[in-house]
Chain A
Amino acid sequence: GENVEQHPSTLSVQEGDSAVIKCTYSDSASNYFPWYKQELGKRPQLIIDIRSNVGEKKDQRIAVTLNKTAKHFSLHITETQPEDSAVYFCAASWGVGAQKLVFGQGTRLTINP
């Protein structure tokens, strides 16, 4: 089955700097790659996603890139702010219609003021 590896497990950056979180997946059939932000005790919130027919997607300070050949995708956050501090999860899924997600291990991002 699909396996998703996420790095780093923790990341600390200065406010205003950029943060990059990377994930690799094992199943070449995976075609949907969402990123979630989770604050302590709360549900995961979708922040951006990308499909396999696209190489890059951007939404304001957040961008995701996908390299299908290498089977890896990355989350880029620019101009980081203290409220970006949270745990971020990547995920992968495949198929058409209802899709279950396989999550990465998570990255605890801390933005230092």
Chain B
Amino acid sequence: GAVVSQHPSRVICKSGTSVKIECRSLDFQATTMFWYRQFPKQSLMLMATSNEGSKATYEQGVEKDKFLINHASLTLSTLTVTSAHPEDSSFYICSAREGRTSGGVFGPGTRLTVL
């Protein structure tokens, strides 16, 4: 079946640094990928929709200059959290749409801790 990977699985960084998270579709091409954020004991909130070869579409309230998304190929989307602060600590999960699969296939998530 369709598989999506994320790297890294965990990252701890100092406040003010930038962190890049990769989302890869391993055995299919994904023209669209979605980035979600999940705070502890909360639901998944969509941050942005990443489209291959074009600019990402951000949800209301998500700062596009802080959360940089690049979807340079049909199998890779990256999310860069710039100038990370402790309040950015969260579980970041991507999903990739494969064919007609509605909603997409989820990656394993990246747990970001900002000290």
Interface residues of A, Cβ cutoff 8 Å to B: 32, 34, 41-46, 49, 89, 91, 93, 97-106
Instruction: Contacts A34-B103, A44-B93 given; indicate if A98 touches B32 (C-beta within 8 A).
Output: yes
Q: Please tell me if the beta carbons of B108 and A42 are within 8 angstroms of each other in the complex.
A: yes
Residues of B within 8 A of A (CB): 31-32, 34, 42-46, 49, 91, 93, 95, 97, 100, 102-104, 106-109, 111
CB neighbours of A93 from chain B (8 A): 102-103
* B111 cross-chain contacts in A, Cβ below 8 A: 41
Residues of B contacting A104 in the complex (Cβ-Cβ under 8 angstroms) = 43
Contact partner of A91 among B49, B103, B108, CB < 8 A?
B103
- Tell whether, in the assembled complex, residue B102 and residue A100 are in contact, meaning their CB atoms are under 8 Å apart: no
| B5, chain A: closest CB distance, angstroms | 11
A-B contact count (CB 8 A): 54
CB contacts (< 8 Å) of A49 on chain B: these are 102-103
List of A residues within 8 angstroms of B42 by Cβ: 105-106
Q: How far is the CB of B28 from chain A (nearest CB, A)?
A: 13
Residues in B neighbouring A99, C-beta threshold 8 A: 97, 102-103
Which chain A residues border B32 with CB–CB below 8 Å?
98
Determine if A44 and B102 form an interchain contact, defined as CB atoms under 8 angstroms apart: no
Which residue of B has the minimal Cβ distance to A92? B103
Question: Would A100 and B43 count as touching, CB distance under 8 A?
Answer: no
Which 4 A-B residue pairings sit nearest by Cβ, starting from the closest? A98-B32, A43-B106, A32-B102, A103-B43
Expressed in whole angstroms, the Cα–Cα distance for A32 and B102 within the complex equals 8
A14 to B108 Cα, complex, angstroms: 30
In the assembled complex, how far is the CB of residue B91 from the closest CB belonging to chain A, in whole angstroms?
8
A103 near B44: Cβ-Cβ < 8 Å: yes
In the complex the two chains form, is A42's CB within 8 Å of B109's CB? yes
Q: How far is the CA of A44 from the CA of B45 in the complex (A)?
A: 13
- The answer to whether B102 and A43 have CB atoms under 8 Å apart is no
Is the beta-carbon distance between A43 and B45 smaller than 8 angstroms? no
Complex contact A89–B44 (CB within 8 A) = yes
User: Which residues of chain A are near B108, meaning CB under 8 Å?
Assistant: 42-43
Query: Is the CB–CB distance between A102 and B103 below 8 Å?
Result: no
Distance of A110 Cα from B31 Cα, bound (Å)? 38
Complex CA gap A98/B107 in Å reads 16
